[in-house]
């Protein structure tokens, strides 16, 4: 893989983690173990089509695996490396929450994603 391709893959990796629904799904699977889409929907309060869409992303990006059990597809965290990433991010966020929450660059990027023509809001 070329260096540029690796950089794009890393960006996509972090992009997959930047979605609130996908993060909620990952933490739910981390806490509860293997679950089918309907059970995930019930726990996180999202529609089946939305959860299925996000499960496809998480599976394609290697965060989760899927195993057929009868008529159900059961999703689990792929391996310990993924749970370690979640644990490390928790630790980093706890240590750096002030800086993260007050980063104007991140605030601007989030604002522009939500409303492409909106002006960024300053954080208190």
- CA–CA separation, 79 and 63 (whole Å): 8
- CA–CA separation, 63 and 13 (whole Å): 9
Residue in this structure with the two tokens 């950089």, named with its chain if needed = 7
- C-beta atoms surrounding 53 within 10 Å: 13
Query: For the segment 20-60, what is each residue's pLDDT rounded down to a tens digit?
Result: 999 999 999 999 999 999 999 999 999 999 999 999 999 99
Strands (DSSP E) along 30-112, which ranges? 35-36, 64-69, 72-77
- CA–CA separation, 4 and 12 (whole Å): 12
- CA–CA separation, 39 and 34 (whole Å): 10
Residue in this structure with the two tokens 């929907």, named with its chain if needed = 41
Query: For the segment 48-98, what is each residue's pLDDT rounded down to a tens digit?
Result: 999 999 999 999 999 999 999 999 999 999 999 999 999 999 999 999 999
For the chain, list the domains and their CATH numbers. 1-78 (1.10.10.10), 80-124 (no CATH)
Beta bridge partners of 35: 75
């Amino acid at each position: 893989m070329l260096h540029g391709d690796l950089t794009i893959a890393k960006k996509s990796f972090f992009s997959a983690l930047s979605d609130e629904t996908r993060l909620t799904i990952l933490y739910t699977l981390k806490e509860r173990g293997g679950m089918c889409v309907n059970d995930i929907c019930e726990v996180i309060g999202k529609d089946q089509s939305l959860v299925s869409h996000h499960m496809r992303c998480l599976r394609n990006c290697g965060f989760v695996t899927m195993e057929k059990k009868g008529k159900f597809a059961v999703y689990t965290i792929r391996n310990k490396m993924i749970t370690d990433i979640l644990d490390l991010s928790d630790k980093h966020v706890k240590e750096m929450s002030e800086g993260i929450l007050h980063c104007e660059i991140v605030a601007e990027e989030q604002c522009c994603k939500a409303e492409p023509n909106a002006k960024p809001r300053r954080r208190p």
